[in-house]
Amino acid sequence: MKLIPNAGRVALRAHSMWANYLGVLCLIIPELIYWLFERDTNPRTWWWLGIALILYGVIGRIKDQGIVRSPVAVLIFAVLMSIAPEPPAAQQTGPEVTEAQFVHVATPFVAKWEGKRNKAYRDIGGVWTVCYGETRGVRPGDTYTDAECHAMLQAGLLEYRAGLHGYFNNDTINLRLTPHRDAAYVSLAYNVGIRGAGKSTATRRLNAGDIAGGCQALGWWNKAGGRVVRGLVNRRAEETQLCMQGLA
């Protein structure tokens, strides 16, 4: 392969080459942000930056080659090039899910898997627990009615939902969540913790617009103590099925 005579100058000064360099950074930076800070960024932002760099590269190439010398002609060309279709929008699922819609789906689903004991007991770790896995403020001898346990579960689910939504981007909250998908993700968080669910591949994929991939990744949380647990396999399978509702 033979380089052009002024290859070094082109590599350092050509606008089209700098568009390529910066374009590569647009691919690398969001991954670095995730690995360093465990936070996802909005993919639409990087898409628009990529489009801007393409336009910059094309216009710069025209300018460098002297194909079009008139500033007006370059401006017209840039406008024409900018009329590009938007990337496929995330699946539209309607307005943001309300708390009532969420509770209606999530409460019976999580109650089924958590199980209920009205009288305080020590869990496997020796922690005093009651109702549907509540541990805060529980003391030996505490007893609650079914209605109190139900209300406690709803309050807990809404608290976990609020925490988990802090890890979702706006497109996920406004476009990708249905009551069933919202309930599936919160069920995972209620079982493994908000931080674990929030920084999981399942959440990362959902934020990137890969709804089906995110739902499937829910099923990966099927181990306890380093081994696969049949009960968790079954729970994750139902959460995945719940999450997938409404997808073609």
pLDDT higher than 90, residue 125: no
Average pLDDT over every residue of 105-123: 95
Residue 94, SS3? coil
Task: State the average pLDDT over residues 116-129.
Answer: 90
Among 89-93, 94-98, 212-216, 217-221, the range scoring the smallest mean pLDDT is 89-93
How high is the pLDDT of residue 108?
97
C-alpha 84/C-alpha 207 separation (Å) is: 23
Unique residue bearing structure tokens 């995945």? 240
Tokens matching residue 218: 């829910």
- In whole angstroms, give the CA distance from residue 131 to residue 111: 9
Residue 89: pLDDT band with limits 50, 70, 90: very low
What pLDDT is recorded for position 86? 41
What's the confidence (pLDDT) of residue 226? Answer: 79
pLDDT digits (tens, 9 = 90+) for 161-210: 999 999 999 999 999 999 999 999 999 999 999 999 999 999 999 999 99
- CB neighbour class for 242 (10 Å; exposed up to 12, middle 13-18, buried from 19): buried
Between 25 and 9, residue with greater pLDDT: 25
At 159 the pLDDT is 97
Mean pLDDT of the chain: 82
Q: Tens digits of per-residue pLDDT, 197-248?
A: 999 999 999 999 999 999 999 999 988 877 888 999 999 999 999 999 988 7
Distance CA 18, CA 21 (A): 5
Cα 190 to Cα 163: distance, rounded to the nearest angstrom: 11
User: Which pLDDT belongs to residue 228?
Assistant: 87
Q: What percent of the chain has pLDDT over 90?
A: 54
Active-site positions read 114, 123
Domains, the chain: 7-82 (no CATH), 99-244 (1.10.530.40)
Q: Which amino acid is at 92?
A: Q
